Amino acid sequence: MKRDVLIGLGVGILAFLLVMGYNIFPIVLLGLGGYFLWTFGISRQVIKNGQGVAITSTMVNFEDIGGQTIAKKELQEALDFLRYSERMKALGIRPLKGILLSGPTGTGKTLLAKAAAKYTDSSFLAVSGSEFVEMYAGVGAERVRSLFRRAREIVKKEKKSSAIIFIDEMDILGAKRGSNVSHHEYDQTLNQLLIEMDGLKTDQGPHILVMAATNRPEALDPAILRPGRFDRQVKVDLPDKEGRIAILKIHTKNKPLAHDVDLEAIAHETFGFSGAHLESVTNEAAIFALRDQATEITGRHLHEAVEKVMLGEKLDRKPTAEELRRIAIHESGHAMLAETVRPNSVSQVSIRSRGNALGYVRHYPKDDLYLYTQAMLEEQIMVALAGALAEEEVLGTRSTGAAGDYEQALDLVEKMLSAGMSSLGVTDVSLLSAEQRQPVTKDILAQLEKRTMFIVQQNKNILLRISDLLQEEESLNGDTLRRYLQNAA
């Protein structure tokens, strides 16, 4: 704030002098020189003081991390080279210099790095890749040298035999050289990191292991990934159902749960959630319990928390009676068709506004699926189209509320084209022109629209009853919907 005031005052004085006819060029030149020297001095002082580098004694164990069984096992095996260094040295095994953790955000890469420091009894230094890069040449490289120098000092101070340097956002520091053509500071900083890692020898004092995290490993420079630098790459993926149950148990350990809470059911509904998402679910559930002045977190609180994390907070948006009926018919179309082609797949259907959605149908798979057949993709497209077709069948017209459904349907058609599930056969979709792709896409959607409309017309009475019930209740869970469908049949 003070710097901004001084700059503004300086500009005002220069403008006044210019109006009065003074030659301000020497003053401007002197001021710019002083500014750059002052800023560079601050940058070096930041390096010296270690700002931006977190030095902690971590208390996180591998047992505190749920849902990453394979990643933990692979990481522990790699860390044993550091933990039992004397035994490895006797066998002539070169110590590891780097371990790269890659995977989606929120999957626990930072926690794994902290647990690694605890597992090996190493000093732990953490820094973000963005801390290294400045606009001034040489600053980033000096920060790299300073970081390794500080690591050796801390190991000596804490009387330990090794240190772990954790670099988050590695794709910023380690991006492919030449990708920032107008900014050689990036390349210089990366070169210095490579030099430091190459210089890590067992006879140079304490061993320093570099651990890095990224969710874009494809953006890293090949020189970083070669053996002798990052010797191990550990994939930290989204947790499966068993992993989600383990994560939920960890995050609810300090929370009072009611007897009706079924963590397995919550894990079943949260396919595709990361550990960070699941932590947020348990936290939001506790907040809902606090709002209700409840002493325990109930199953309802957890289910509502899942919806909030997935879709956003409830909105005060009040549709008109006509809009509400259209929304109810639209969502009933989705829900009815989903239960027809994939029984027991609907978790919740609602016409309450959340996030950007006026209404929604929440689905969950019978099991965690990682491969999809053509029939499965076609069923998902039909469910996406059912809302608009229900509107057309009952009200005679479609609405803009189906825009997101069409986008989803087109994405699924794209997957079919890429997997060779169309009349084009196996082909490189990226090489096809719009004229080649459009007729095939249109043909697939037309056929599936026809099949979907047939089911909607066959079940029109049931669809209307569900929409009437939705307008009364606003929200139905999957079990209630299925009971109603069975009775209506």
Q: Tell whether the torsion through CA atoms of 395, 397, 400 and 406 is positive or negative.
A: positive
CB 279 within 8 A of CB 314: no
Output the pLDDT for position 387.
Answer: 94
Domain 241-311 sits in CATH at 1.10.8.60
Q: Are strands 207-214 and 232-235 parallel, antiparallel or unpaired?
A: unpaired
Give the span between the Cα atoms of 104 and 307, in whole angstroms. 21
**Long-range pairs for 454-462 at CB < 8 Å and ≥24 separation?**
455/337, 455/340, 455/341, 455/382, 455/386, 456/333, 456/336, 456/337, 456/386, 456/389, 456/390, 456/393, 457/393, 459/336, 459/340, 460/393, 460/394, 461/488, 462/336, 462/488, 462/489
Output the pLDDT for position 184.
Answer: 60
DSSP 8-class letter at 51? T
Output the pLDDT for position 40.
Answer: 44
Output the pLDDT for position 41.
Answer: 47
Output the pLDDT for position 202.
Answer: 44
Count the neighbouring beta carbons within 10 Å of the beta carbon of residue 303. Answer: 21
Helices (H) and strands (E) in the chain, counts: 19, 9
Count the neighbouring beta carbons within 10 Å of the beta carbon of residue 193. Answer: 28
Spans of the chain, pLDDT less than 70: 1-58, 132-139, 178-186, 199-205, 317, 365-370, 488-489
**Short-list 219, 38, 206, CA closest to 136:** 38
Cα–Cα distance list, 261 to 296, 299, 313, 366 (Å) = 10, 5, 22, 20
Output the pLDDT for position 2.
Answer: 47
Output the pLDDT for position 281.
Answer: 94
Domain 321-488 sits in CATH at 1.20.58.760
55-235 and 321-488: identical CATH topology = no
**Short-list 224, 226, 270, CA closest to 248:** 270
331 labelled catalytic: yes
- Please give the torsion angle defined by the CA atoms of residues 359, 365, 366 and 372, in that order, rounded to the nearest 10 degrees: 140
233 burial (CB, 10 Å; 0-12 / 13-18 / 19+) is: middle
For the chain, the structural domain boundaries read 2-49, 55-235, 241-311, 321-488
Pick the CATH number of 55-235 from 3.10.129.10, 3.40.50.300, 3.40.1160.10, 3.40.190.10: 3.40.50.300
User: Given 196, 279, 307, 331, which residue is catalytic?
Assistant: 331
DSSP 8-class letter at 58? -
Q: What angle do CA 331, 332, 335 make, to 5 degrees?
A: 90
CB 363 within 8 A of CB 347: yes
Give the span between the Cα atoms of 368 and 381, in whole angstroms. 19
CB 216 within 8 A of CB 171: yes
**Short-list 483, 458, 487, 479, CA closest to 349:** 479
Output the pLDDT for position 358.
Answer: 83
147 burial (CB, 10 Å; 0-12 / 13-18 / 19+) is: buried
